Amino acid sequence: MERLKQWSDFKAVMSAESIARTPHFVLHQWQPVAKVSLDSELPERPSLFIDGVLMLGALTPKRWAKHAVTRNLIRRQIHAVSREFENALAPTAYVVRLRATFHPQKFVSASSDLLKKTVREELKQLFNKVSAA
């Protein structure tokens, strides 16, 4: 599994509809444009991503996770859980986006074990929705 690095790649994947949601996360999947037939006079657009390669990007905005420690913890958990589901995902590009804050009153420490466990469980729910479909 490779990681998305360019902002243009993130934007391209997020332009597609989301395929799964949980209270804190949303998962976007790249939908390749249908190939143009050879008889057409229109030039075929090159694909942004390599066919058959699983790529993943983790987006954790400062708006929803104020501390860098928290953002890094969430990103690490996204990549760790995605490796567990690597064989169940279609080989294309995905972006997991944090879309809500984890309450600082409940998770006092920015890198607590409770936060790590909660993030991990919710990410497993997110990827289970995709692998079951």
The pLDDT of residue 34 is 54
Dihedral pair phi/psi, residue 19, rounded to 5° = -110, -15
The pLDDT of residue 45 is 46
Report H helices in 26-112: 68-84
Q: Hey, what CATH class is 2-30+52-132 in? A: alpha beta
Distances from the Cα of 92 to the Cα of 80, 98, 110, 117, 127, angstroms: 18, 20, 32, 27, 14
In this prediction, the residues of the chain whose per-residue pLDDT falls under 50 are 36-37, 43-46
12 vs 32: CA distance, rounded Å: 10
Dihedral pair phi/psi, residue 67, rounded to 5° = -90, 135
What pLDDT, in 10s, does the model give residues 66-85? 999 999 999 999 999 999 99
The pLDDT of residue 94 is 95
Write out the two tokens for 8: 């243009």
- Give the residue from 98, 93, 77, 107 showing the smallest Cα distance to 9: 93
15 vs 111: CA distance, rounded Å: 31
